[in-house]
A = this chain, B = another copy of it.
Amino acid sequence: MDTMEPEPDLELQVAVAKVSKYAVSESGDTVEVIERPHGGLSLVMVDGQRSGKSAKTISNIVTRKAVSLLADGVRDGAAARAAHDYLRTMRGGQVSATLNIVSVDLVTRTMVISRNSHCPAIIVRGLENEPQILDEPSEAIGIQPRTRPVISELAIRADLHVIVFTDGLLSAGERYGQRLDVPSFVRDLCHRCPKEACARFLADSLLARAVELEHSRPGDDVTVVVVSVTGRQQPDDVRRMSVRFPI
């Protein structure tokens, strides 16, 4: 397997940006990133029903279940189904959560996007193309029997950007009569993003715009995740991870 791997000339960038609902200290959104046992990584984003502590508990248990299965090498679709079954069993079908999994699979050289959410995923494949919207109907986990994810698989190539988010981004500005047109906002941003920090720029810009539309007092938790593949920018073979937040 390793001997067939092409010389790396691409770079993966993942950026997560999150804010809590105004005046609520605990976000009901949870994001975790793990290494996949056969190479690459998976990112799990969960939005628990309602906000505050109860939502946090729900999003934590769903995230833990999905992450632990992915870490065992379970395929993404099965992990999403299992997370659904688990939540539905634990909470008697009374509590829902949205679940997104974005995996970078270095064995198949694909990006796999699993949606259990009414929020679309936005895909940019090459800056010359319009953003694509993955919005096939998809339901949250935890309520109906046998809920399954909607899965898309994309070949890894340079200038591929995958953007997923929780519904706080979609509803931002609504109560003030404005809404964020995510695809067109993304299209404009892509042409301006610095190559060495493209994912970071996209995630931060989207979140900042959402907070602005909410007059700096978000009415819901908002999470934005961007996974970008660019031509290789960094000269070294270093794997880097950073976390930053006020405490």
Closest to A2 in B: B25
Task: Check A33 against B237 for contact (C-beta < 8 Å).
Answer: no
Checking B14, B60, B246, B247 against A244 with a beta-carbon cut-off of 8 angstroms, the contacting residue is: B14
A4 to chain B, nearest CB (A): 11
Q: Does A162 count as interface, using CB distance less than 8 angstroms?
A: no
Task: Check B241 against A229 for contact (C-beta < 8 Å).
Answer: no
Q: Does A103 count as interface, using CB distance less than 8 angstroms?
A: no
Task: Check A13 against B242 for contact (C-beta < 8 Å).
Answer: yes
Q: Does A175 count as interface, using CB distance less than 8 angstroms?
A: no
The proximity string for A residues 1-16 relative to B, scoring 1 for CB distances below 8 Å and 0 otherwise, is: 0100100101111111
**What CA separation (Å) do A35 and B32 show in the bound complex?**
8
Counted per complex, copies of this chain come to 2
Task: Check A240 against B239 for contact (C-beta < 8 Å).
Answer: no
Q: Does A97 count as interface, using CB distance less than 8 angstroms?
A: no
Task: Check A238 against B17 for contact (C-beta < 8 Å).
Answer: yes
Task: Check A239 against B8 for contact (C-beta < 8 Å).
Answer: no
Apart from the given pairs A15-B242, A19-B238, 11 other A-B contacts in the complex at a CB distance below 8 Å: A12-B243, A12-B247, A17-B240, A18-B239, A18-B240, A33-B241, A200-B242, A208-B236, A229-B247, A234-B246, A240-B242
Checking B11, B68, B71, B156 against A246 with a beta-carbon cut-off of 8 angstroms, the contacting residue is: B11
Task: Check B243 against A13 for contact (C-beta < 8 Å).
Answer: yes
**What CA separation (Å) do A35 and B16 show in the bound complex?**
14
| Chain B residues closer than 8 Å to A8, beta-carbon distance | 246-247
Q: Does A31 count as interface, using CB distance less than 8 angstroms?
A: yes
Given A156-B247, A232-B246, A247-B229, residue A239 in contact with residue B19 (CB < 8 A):
yes
Given A11-B245, A34-B32, A246-B8, residue A211 in contact with residue B236 (CB < 8 A):
yes
Contacts A/B (CB < 8 Å), 21 sampled: A8-B247, A11-B246, A12-B244, A12-B245, A13-B242, A13-B243, A15-B240, A18-B239, A19-B237, A31-B241, A32-B35, A35-B60, A37-B60, A60-B71, A200-B240, A200-B242, A211-B236, A229-B247, A237-B245, A240-B243, A240-B245
Q: Does A104 count as interface, using CB distance less than 8 angstroms?
A: yes
